[in-house]
Chain A
Amino acid sequence: KAGVTQTPRYLIKTRGQQVTLSCSPISGHRSVSWYQQTPGQGLQFLFEYFSETQRNKGNFPGRFSGRQFSNSRSEMNVSTLELGDSALYLCASSLRTGDGYTFGSGTRLTVV
């Protein structure tokens, strides 16, 4: 059974640019969440999608957005990149609430 796939694994962008990260959940999982991991702030929740609807959103500026498609694949977008957006972005999927998430290997974004 394939796990959660995130692409790309590594990304280098320039300040002010925008970026789109992709996540393919485990087949059959309809809940997809995104987390940002940094050394200073740790793991912080970005948003959760379930059946194409954003069910929950973390405390991030509007530059961070996401969406989920009918096949449960998800993308997150960050516009007007700032140096502080450099982080490991983790996507996770879940079959049922309370199951716990299966995480992907993440996309490491570096903003220069």
Chain B
Amino acid sequence: AQSVTQLGSHVSVSEGALVLLRCNYSSSVPPYLFWYVQYPNQGLQLLLKYTTGATLVKGINGFEAEFKKSETSFHLTKPSAHMSDAAEYFCAVSDLGYGNKLVFGAGTILRVKS
């Protein structure tokens, strides 16, 4: 069975500092990996995805993530945090063997301090 672990339910950074949100996954087959962001009272917005090919994936709003098969990780980074990045972030995995089902991590709330 697939699973996703997001280390740290809350992460706090200063504006302009590096953002690092951790995600580890478990999958018996090559996974498709996703990061989503959720702002209060809204749905989820896709930040970036890894399917095949280049392991460093660039997304919207300056975010990127690197797929590391040996570490079963897909950590999300952004070089310089902005106040507008404050939100909840979800990592998700899909192995396609189960249709298009996504298995989500528990989420990480990012707080950006001024």
Contact = CB atoms under 8 A, between A and B. Distances in A.
B100 A56 contact: yes
A98 B51 contact: yes
B58 to A, nearest CB: 14
B45 interface: yes
A64 interface: no
Interface string A31-52: 1010100000011010010100
B61 to A, nearest CB: 15
B43 A97 contact: no
A49 B96 CA distance: 14
Contacts of A42: 104-107
Contacts of A101: 44, 46, 100, 102
Nearest to B49: A100
A49 B52 CA distance: 25
Interface of A: 4, 31, 33, 35, 42-43, 45, 48, 50, 55-56, 58, 90, 92, 94, 97-106
13 contacts: A35-B102, A42-B106, A45-B101, A48-B99, A48-B101, A56-B98, A56-B101, A92-B43, A98-B96, A99-B49, A102-B46, A105-B42, A106-B43
Given A43-B90, A56-B100, A104-B43, 4 more contacts: A98-B100, A101-B46, A103-B36, A103-B45
Q: Which 4 A-B pairs have the closest CB atoms?
A: A103-B43, A56-B99, A43-B104, A55-B99
